[in-house]
Chain A
Amino acid sequence: MILATAGGFFRHLDAGKWADIGQATLDTLLMLGGSLPLTLLIGLPLGVLLFLTGSPQLHRRPVLYGSLALLVNLLRSVPFIILMIVLIPLTLWMMGTSLGVRGAIVPLVIGAAPFYARLVETALREVDRGVIEATQAMGATTWQLVTRVLLPEARPGLIAGATVTVIALIGFTAMGGAIGSGGLGDLAFRDGYQRSHTDVALVTVVVLLVLVQLLQMLGDRLVTHYSRK
């Protein structure tokens, strides 16, 4: 009886649907793989710049810091689903389409890079002021300070921040489903919500859960590996 009910509940999960789920998972991974490197590549220098221009000990530039902080706050305060819609013209211009994995990369990066930049800034603030002072006393240039002291000393924090960012990105890719970006969110939205196939939605939840769990574990391990305190 229970099995029959269960069988009834999972009735939409035929071989074709499993293939769809596989494809959606792959699309989600592709979106992550495409957007994460760019997010880190833009977020890291932006975070360093925020830290340097905001620090009284280093290169305080109140106007520059204020403008950067405003931009970052602006992008972060717009809910991602709205940001995606607003960015459609830019995405079209840059990628030729606003749909699918290709169309998702631009809004994902623009949404997540400021988020990561703030986490980078926070991680850098945790670097001991005394260590920065000692480095200055040795006659280091700002470039040397950033590359040889700030980034290595903050590495556990930077990795933890990247982990939080990649998990936020998974959330963003799922929202992208609403405007046809593909991936697990798209599948859950079309099958799970519009057709009320709750079983499909449930499977997407499980896949996302496993994905988040794996990434978090990987991040935690890297943080532990690089922690020397």
Chain B
Amino acid sequence: MIEFQRLHKSYAVGGRAIAALQPLDLTIEAGEVFGIIGHSGAGKSTLIRLINRLEEPTGGRLLINGEDVTALDAEGLRVLRRKIGMIFQHFNLLSSRTVAANVAFPLELAGTPRAEIDARVDELLHTVGLEAHANKYPAQLSGGQKQRVGIARALATRPQILLCDEATSALDPQTTASVLKLLGRINRELGLTIVLITHEMDVIRRVCDRVAVLDAGHLVETGPVTEVFLHPQHPTTRRFVNESEQVDEGELHKDFEAVAGRIVRLTFLGADTYEPLLGRIARETGVDYNILSGRIDRIKDTPYGQLTVSLVGGDVQAAQAGFVAAGVHLEELRR
């Protein structure tokens, strides 16, 4: 468990203190995949680096499994860092070492015996599917392969926490998907806590259990991804969601002006998503429905559907009550 207690960070620029991160309270549970989303300059990079103290906090406390990390001396910090793996946007592999030697590196630093290192490296390369590339140099690999080496290296010392610093931002969509899948598998199989930062809502949607939204150094929204993604409260969060859905809210609402009837947004979550609810309720209440926009997809392992529909004729009131009774989240966009 990682607990931020009024942790904050500011930089001195020309004698003035510029706040990068306002005092924030946040708890990341053991074993979860926790995402932090924000635009560049929002402070997410600072936030993730405070966890292994690549950035020194200006004030506040950070507890990892109850231990005050902010109070550690240099030796204590080195011991802590060996229990926290980290992967990076630009991979940060040692160009002078082969794939296998890169994966072995953190074990060498920790003074692990050679035979043990070799066995562990084989195992890790197998985990990330790079056995065939053990003796290549990073320059000979593709971006996705480099990130897999980064992941194998980060897991070498069997850490309890994995920090992902924009780990997929330099990868193409297909490679991003496969790396995210690998991260999800690692989280499930090793029970590892993953903290990732990103500027893409899609990354959050695919792997995260919970998410925090950062805006100009402030934590503006935190919660389960299903909640934050489907019912964003803060304008910044809404912007992120719309960006990932490629929806322009303003244009959409203008289009709806020509549509008759009441407009509602229905959100289905979990097994309900695949229930033939719309048809049944329309039949029972004599309401005609028209789907204006929508999406049916998954948030990590949870299927969801979010439809904007217009309801005309029949007993609209009863139809709405029917949806609510079936466990669908209903929002009236226009009466």
A residues adjacent to B (C-beta < 8 A): 128, 130-131, 133-134, 136-141, 144, 148-149, 152-153, 155, 226, 228-229
Mark interface residues in B204-244 (1 if CB within 8 Å of A CB, else 0): 00000000000000000000000000000000000000000
**Interface stretch of the complex, out of B29-37, B105-113, B272-280, B317-325:** B105-113
Task: Report yes or no: A134 in contact with B86, Cβ–Cβ below 8 A.
Answer: yes
Contact check, B110 vs A139: say whether CB atoms are below 8 A apart: yes
List of A residues within 8 angstroms of B80 by Cβ: 139
Of all chain A residues, which has the CB nearest B137?
A228
Q: How far is the CB of A187 from chain B (nearest CB, A)?
A: 43
User: How big is chain B's contact interface, by range?
Assistant: 20 to 34
Q: Is the CB of B79 within 8 A of A148?
A: no
Q: How far is the CA of A128 from the CA of B94 in the complex (A)?
A: 9
Among A138, A140, A141, A144, the most chain B Cβ lie within 10 Å of the Cβ of A138
Please indicate the chain A residues that have their CB under 8 angstroms from the CB of B105 in the complex: 138, 148
Interface string of B61-89 (1 = CB under 8 A from A): 00000000000000001111110101010
The complex places the Cα of A15 from the Cα of B137 at a distance, in Å, of 55
Chain A residues closer than 8 Å to B139, beta-carbon distance: 228-229
CB distance from B49 to the nearest CB of A (A): 9
Docked Cα-Cα span, A153 to B93, in Å, equals 10
Which residue in A137, A141, A153 is a CB contact (below 8 Å) of B96?
A153
B92 touches A128 (CB 8 A): yes
**Contact pick for A144, options B93, B95, B109, B137, CB 8 Å:** B109
Please name all residues of chain B whose beta carbon is closer than 8 Å to the beta carbon of A137 when the two chains form the complex: 52, 54, 81, 84, 86, 163
Q: Given contacts A139-B78, A228-B137, could you give 12 more A-B pairs where the C-beta distance is less than 8 Å?
A: A128-B92, A130-B91, A134-B92, A138-B86, A138-B106, A138-B109, A139-B77, A139-B82, A139-B110, A140-B78, A152-B97, A153-B96
What is the CA–CA distance of A137 and B139 in the complex, to the nearest angstrom?
Answer: 22
The chain A residue sitting closest to B89, CB to CB, is A130
A136 contacts across to B, CB distance below 8 A? 54, 81
Contacting residues, chain B, for A133 (C-beta < 8 A)? 54, 88, 92
Question: In the bound complex, how far is the Cα of B95 from the Cα of A128, in angstroms?
Answer: 10
Structural contact, B52 and A148, CB atoms closer than 8 A: no
Name the distance in Å between A169's Cβ and chain B's nearest Cβ.
27
Beyond A134-B88, A136-B54, A138-B109, is A152–B78 a contact (Cβ under 8 Å)? Answer: no
Could you name 14 residue pairs across A and B whose Cβ atoms are closer than 8 Å? A131-B93, A133-B54, A134-B92, A136-B81, A137-B54, A137-B81, A137-B84, A139-B80, A139-B106, A148-B105, A155-B96, A228-B138, A228-B139, A229-B139
Residues 156-192 of B contacting A (Cβ, < 8 Å): 157, 163
Q: Known contacts A228-B139, A229-B95: does B88 contact A130 (CB below 8 Å)?
A: yes
**Chain A residues with Cβ under 8 A from B97's Cβ?**
152
Give the most central of B52, B78, B92, B96: most A CB within 10 Å.
B96
Shortest CB-to-CB span from A128 to chain B, Å, is: 7
Query: B133 on the interface (CB 8 Å rule)?
Result: no
Closest to A145 in B: B109
Roughly how many angstroms separate A138 CA and B79 CA in the complex, as a whole number?
9
The yes or no answer to B298 lying at the interface (CB within 8 A) is: no
Task: Give the chain A neighbours of B94 by CB distance below 8 A.
Answer: 131, 149, 152-153
Is B300 in contact with chain A by the CB < 8 A criterion?
Answer: no
Q: A133-B54, A148-B109 are in contact. Are A139 and B92 (CB under 8 A)?
A: no
CA distance A17 to B86 in the complex (A): 67
What's the minimum C-beta distance from A86 to chain B, rounded to whole angstroms? 41
Q: With an 8 A cutoff between CB atoms, is B39 at the interface? A: no
A153 proximity list for chain B (CB < 8 A): 94-96
Chain B residues lying within 8 Å of A138, measured Cβ to Cβ, are: 81-82, 86, 105-106, 109, 157
B79 touches A139 (CB 8 A): yes
Q: Nearest CB to that of B86 among chain A residues?
A: A137
Whether, in the assembled complex, B90 has its beta carbon less than 8 Å from a beta carbon of chain A, the answer is: yes
In the complex, which residues of chain B have a beta carbon less than 8 angstroms from the beta carbon of A144?
109
Whole-angstrom distance between the Cβ of B221 and the nearest chain A Cβ: 28
Q: Which of B239-271 contact A (CB under 8 A)?
A: none
Indicate which residue in B92, B108, B137 contacts A148 across the interface (CB closer than 8 Å): B108
Alpha-carbon separation in the docked complex, A130 to B80 (Å): 20
Query: How far does the Cβ of B268 sit from chain A's closest Cβ, in whole Å?
Result: 42
